Amino acid sequence: MNAISSLERDATLDRLERERFDCVIVGGGITGAGIAREAALRGLSVALLEARDFASGTSSRSSKLIHGGLRYLAMGDVSLVRSTALERKVIHRLAPHLAEPRWLVVPARSRAGLVKLRAAITTYEKLGAVAPEDRHRNWRRPELEQNEPLIRRELHPFACIYREYLTDDARLVLANLRAAVGAGATVVNYAAVTGLSTQSGRADGVRARCALSGRQLRVAARCVINAAGPWVDELRRLEDRSAPERLLLSLGIHVVLPHRRVPVRNMMILGTRDRRSIFVIPRGEIVYVGTTDTVYEPGAQTWPSIPRKDVEYLLEPLNRDLSVEPLVPEEVTAAWAGLRPLIAEPGKAPTEISRKDEVWIGPAGVVSIAGGKLTGYRPMARLALERAAKEHGLRLAAADGSDSPLPGGDFEGGLSSLARRLEETTGLDARRALRLASLYGREAAEVVERGPEPLVSGGVVLRGEVAFAVEKEGAATLEDVLYRRTRAALYVPEEREALLEPLSRALAARLGWSESERSAQCDSLRKRLAADLAFRQPEPAPS
Ligand code: FAD
């Protein structure tokens, strides 16, 4: 059984209090989820506590690429690039719906620029052991005109295309958490760790508080692993009040536009005025654009606000390099902001800092891990676990089953053939079938069985998604379902306002909410959605 059921939350909290675990992991982003899966597969008894919703931190705010990061090659980070480039194939094998191979187009201004680009991509492909059929290709004017006519060829007469993988970050986290549960882990969201319990100066568990019921918990464990992303330093201070700051937080934003306004056919990289690169990523009816990389001083938080100037910065390369009617911030239909938990390197700007990860052992034996990339979550998990095992004398079994597919990932033949099979067996149209297949993989059929009808007349989000989110994916609030399970807040902006009422009613029926609770959740979501797009109001001119 790999379900995280919100209907069995009390029993989960009871189990957390009753048992003594080999390790308790703090943080349910990709780092914590990866460690939980790896630890459970290697025979440890595992608990994981997440303060808010699973993936509600950085792991739902990324560019959603499983990639080695071509630009880190230029920074000389060869081992990081090799490891993440190789991981692409593994994640694709474990969950083909959450690592979909796509061509990424990189336009070039000159023949010399193209040659330089090809050299870098060739090295990247060697490091990632890319199969011959997946290797890069070059486009000159005629191919560009035919395959990606939106690029202004008078500025960019050449392009190189190479393979990267598109994921859904929050759903990758959920899939790993469910795999961990399938291997015996106990995981819970909305349970913030508020303190450590210690014996003779060594951490022997955590204290936590359930945000939904107020219940206080103590979870006993031989070892505590801190995987709290941007909050890692905060957690380290629970162990050692004077622990020095290790992290530099960097803000990255993305904006969503209707695909009809930016009708690119492939994923694309464009250059910015300060010589950075941004991604333009088509996904169904939308295109998203990102990202920025600026020091964020206010400290870790779940919903950093989105500066209008950052939105303008992202739109500028589209207006310059693509044949589109000028795009303005008021047309943005959704946006998200995330904080990178980078390992600080004094004197370096966020763009210059390596994306490597690091592990520290605190004075009470807490193992903290930060940095890294979504793509490298499996090697990061192994590293953290091996350090924890050494420090605490835990015996790790051979990683049996680490090659088994993640939930929903057990299908062959690629996403489009999965979607076609779904169309045939359920009668869904092509658009709905592809959306469901890419979110749920082979489990899309189970989602449809739970309720094939759209929640909004003519809409794409199905009633069955609510039941699936509650019974299998630990959804406990309206925000969980709209933002991180169906992803409608980002990918289906035209439907999301209309979804609030029917979605909240379906959730209220499953979770036993009162009418006042239901309407409070709707109100708070309306405020959340408005806050995401607050930058659309032009800032007042200085007086
Ligand atoms: P998080 O996802 O933030 O998880 C930490 C969790 O800990 C949070 O959910 C938080 O609520 C929880 N927590 C905090 N305090 C407590 C507590 N007291 N008790 C319990 N839980 C607690 N990587 C890629 O590979 N590809 C990309 O395309 C990519 N794009 C990116 C774009 C942007 C804009 C950003 C910001 C990052 C991007 N990354 C990308 C990097 C990647 O997203 C991060 O490295 C990764 O998501 C970090 O995951 P994490 O689990 O360490 O942190």
Q: What is the pLDDT of residue 83?
A: 86
Q: Which atom of ligand 1 is nearest to the CA of 55?
A: 9
What domain range is 422 assigned to?
412-443
One domain, residues 253 and 321: yes
Q: What residue owns the CA closest to ligand 1's atom 26?
A: 65
pLDDT digits (tens, 9 = 90+) for 339-387: 999 999 888 888 887 788 899 999 999 999 999 999 999 999 999 999 9
One domain, residues 144 and 180: no
Q: Using CA atoms, how far apart are residues 491 and 155, in angstroms rounded to an integer?
A: 31
SS3 sequence of 99-147? CEEEEEEEEECCHHHHHHHHHHHHHHHHHCCCCHHHCCEEECHHHHHHH
Q: pLDDT band at 542, cuts 50/70/90?
A: confident
Q: What is the pLDDT of residue 73?
A: 78
- Ligand 1 centroid to 143 CA: how many Å? 38
Distance of CA 524 to the CA centre of its chain: 23
Q: Look up residue 345 and give its two tokens.
A: 């390197």
- Ligand 1 centroid to 339 CA: how many Å? 7
Q: Look up residue 28 and give its two tokens.
A: 């349910």
Has residue 281 been placed in a domain? yes
pLDDT digits (tens, 9 = 90+) for 505-526: 999 999 999 999 999 999 999 9
- Ligand 1 centroid to 49 CA: how many Å? 15
- Ligand 1 centroid to 32 CA: how many Å? 9
- Ligand 1 centroid to 250 CA: how many Å? 12
Q: Which atom of ligand 1 is nearest to the CA of 375?
A: 25
CB 7 within 8 A of CB 510: yes
115-129, 148-162, 176-190, 264-278: the lowest-pLDDT one: 115-129
- Ligand 1 centroid to 153 CA: how many Å? 38
Residue from 219, 374, 479 to probe ligand 1 pocket by mutation (most atoms less than 8 Å from CB): 374
Q: pLDDT band at 406, cuts 50/70/90?
A: very high
Helix (H, G, I), strand (E, B) or coil at 330: helix
Q: Look up residue 35 and give its two tokens.
A: 């460690």
Helix (H, G, I), strand (E, B) or coil at 207: strand
Residue from 59, 90, 226, 383 to probe ligand 1 pocket by mutation (most atoms less than 8 Å from CB): 59
- Ligand 1 centroid to 104 CA: how many Å? 24
Q: Which atom of ligand 1 is nearest to the CA of 376?
A: 25
Helix or strand run (H / E) with residue 160: strand 158-166
Q: Which atom of ligand 1 is nearest to the CA of 191?
A: 20
Q: What is the pLDDT of residue 345?
A: 86
One domain, residues 145 and 252: yes
CB 330 within 8 A of CB 539: no
**φ, ψ for residue 395 (rounded to 5)?**
-95, 120
Q: What is the pLDDT of residue 347?
A: 82
Has residue 403 been placed in a domain? no
Partnered with residue 281 across adjacent β-strands are: 288
Number of domains in the chain: 4
Q: Using CA atoms, how far apart are residues 311 and 536, in angstroms rounded to an integer?
A: 9
Q: Is the pLDDT of residue 68 over 90?
A: no
One domain, residues 305 and 178: no
- Ligand 1 centroid to 139 CA: how many Å? 36
The single-letter DSSP state of residue 457 is T
CB 72 within 8 A of CB 80: yes
Q: What residue owns the CA closest to ligand 1's atom 12?
A: 27
pLDDT digits (tens, 9 = 90+) for 131-189: 999 999 999 999 999 999 999 999 999 999 999 999 999 999 999 999 999 999 999 99
CB 21 within 8 A of CB 15: no
Q: What residue owns the CA closest to ligand 1's atom 18?
A: 193
Has residue 405 been placed in a domain? no
Helix or strand run (H / E) with residue 164: strand 158-166
CB 239 within 8 A of CB 366: yes
Has residue 70 been placed in a domain? no
Q: Using CA atoms, how far apart are residues 422 and 445, in angstroms rounded to an integer?
A: 7
Has residue 470 been placed in a domain? yes
Percentage of the chain with pLDDT > 90? 90
Helix (H, G, I), strand (E, B) or coil at 151: strand
Q: Using CA atoms, how far apart are residues 307 and 325, in angstroms rounded to an integer?
A: 23
One domain, residues 428 and 302: no
SS3 sequence of 338-376? EEEEEECCCCCCHHHCCCCEEEEECCCCCEEEEECCHHH
Kindly give the residue spans of alpha helices, DSSP state H, lying in 393-429: 414-426
Q: Using CA atoms, how far apart are residues 58 and 140, in angstroms rounded to an integer?
A: 38
The arithmetic mean of pLDDT across residues 381-410, rounded, is: 93
Q: Is the pLDDT of residue 270 over 90?
A: yes
- Ligand 1 centroid to 62 CA: how many Å? 8
Q: Which is nearest to 233 in space by CA: 255, 249, 213?
A: 249
Query: Which residues form ligand 1's pocket by a CB distance below 6 Å?
Result: 26-32, 49-52, 56-59, 61-65, 67, 192-193, 227-231, 235, 252, 291, 338-341, 372-375
CATH of the domain at 478: 1.10.8.870
Q: Using CA atoms, how far apart are residues 99 and 229, in angstroms rounded to an integer?
A: 22
One domain, residues 199 and 342: no
The single-letter DSSP state of residue 72 is H
pLDDT digits (tens, 9 = 90+) for 418-477: 999 999 999 999 999 999 999 999 999 999 999 999 999 999 999 999 999 999 999 999
One domain, residues 241 and 252: no
- Ligand 1 centroid to 340 CA: how many Å? 7
Q: How many CB atoms lie under 10 A from the CB of residue 277?
A: 13
The angle at the Cα of 534, spanning 532 to 537, to the nearest 5 degrees, equals 150
Helix or strand run (H / E) with residue 25: strand 20-26
One domain, residues 279 and 335: yes
Q: What is the pLDDT of residue 266?
A: 98
Q: pLDDT band at 536, cuts 50/70/90?
A: very high
Q: Which atom of ligand 1 is nearest to the CA of 235?
A: 18
Residue from 193, 231, 351, 483 to probe ligand 1 pocket by mutation (most atoms less than 8 Å from CB): 231
Percentage of the chain with pLDDT > 70? 100
- Ligand 1 centroid to 55 CA: how many Å? 7
Q: Look up residue 461 and give its two tokens.
A: 């989000």
Has residue 400 been placed in a domain? no
CATH of the domain at 80: 3.30.9.10
Q: What is the pLDDT of residue 400?
A: 74
One domain, residues 253 and 341: yes
Q: What is the pLDDT of residue 402?
A: 80
Q: Could you write out the DSSP letters of every residue in 230-257? A: GGHHHHHHHH-TTPPP-EEEEEEEEEEE
One domain, residues 265 and 300: yes
One domain, residues 175 and 318: no
Q: Which atom of ligand 1 is nearest to the CA of 228?
A: 7
One domain, residues 15 and 84: no
The single-letter DSSP state of residue 453 is S
The pLDDT mean for the chain works out to: 95
Has residue 69 been placed in a domain? no
Has residue 68 been placed in a domain? no
Helix or strand run (H / E) with residue 318: helix 308-321
Q: What is the pLDDT of residue 353?
A: 79
Q: Using CA atoms, how far apart are residues 416 and 432, in angstroms rounded to an integer?
A: 12
Q: What is the pLDDT of residue 305?
A: 95
